[in-house]
């Protein structure tokens, strides 16, 4: 299992950060420019990644003010889980962490690790920007 992650501190209470992440409709704001044709509900999102494929994800589980777990809503080329973890900190700040766990064979690992890390880094940075605005 390949694990890719990044985290950031946000100057918002954990309940506010969790509420944002728990709704798939908000995740379009976190996506890089290469994602388009976005459609979503609170529990599911579908989108296209430029020059790649159309994907669908759904919420697998929610733990209030703690974690939101996403899994593929349709058949994916490999098993993958996206997990947003939120931890309260002092002064009403929140540590937000995005973890992608992917079952990649050696060839896929060589090809996919760098783009997945870029996706994680961009989403974490965009979360801070969106919630700080």
Token pair 């992650």 is found at 5
Compute the radius of gyration of the chain from its Cα atoms: 14
Superfamily, domain 2-128: START domain (3.30.530.20)
3-state secondary structure of 11: coil
Q: What is the pLDDT of residues 42-57, one digit of tens each?
A: 999 999 877 767 889 9
Q: What is the pLDDT of residues 66-116, one digit of tens each?
A: 999 999 998 877 889 999 999 999 999 999 999 999 998 898 888 888 888
List the chain domain ranges.
2-128
Q: pTM score, two decimals?
A: 0.91
């Amino acid at each position: 299992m390949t694990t890719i992650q990044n985290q950031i501190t946000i100057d918002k209470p954990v309940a506010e950060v969790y509420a944002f992440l728990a709704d798939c409709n908000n995740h379009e704001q976190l996506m890089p420019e290469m994602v388009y044709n976005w459609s979503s509900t609170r529990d599911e999102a579908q989108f296209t990644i430029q020059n790649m494929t159309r994907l669908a994800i759904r919420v697998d589980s929610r733990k209030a003010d703690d974690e939101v777990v996403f899994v593929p809503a349709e058949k994916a080329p490999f098993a993958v889980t996206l997990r947003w973890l939120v931890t309260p900190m002092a002064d009403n700040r929140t540590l937000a962490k995005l973890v992608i766990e992917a079952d990649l064979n050696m060839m896929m690992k060589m090809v996919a690790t760098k783009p997945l890390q870029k996706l994680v880094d961009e989403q974490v940075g965009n979360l801070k920007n969106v919630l700080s605005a």
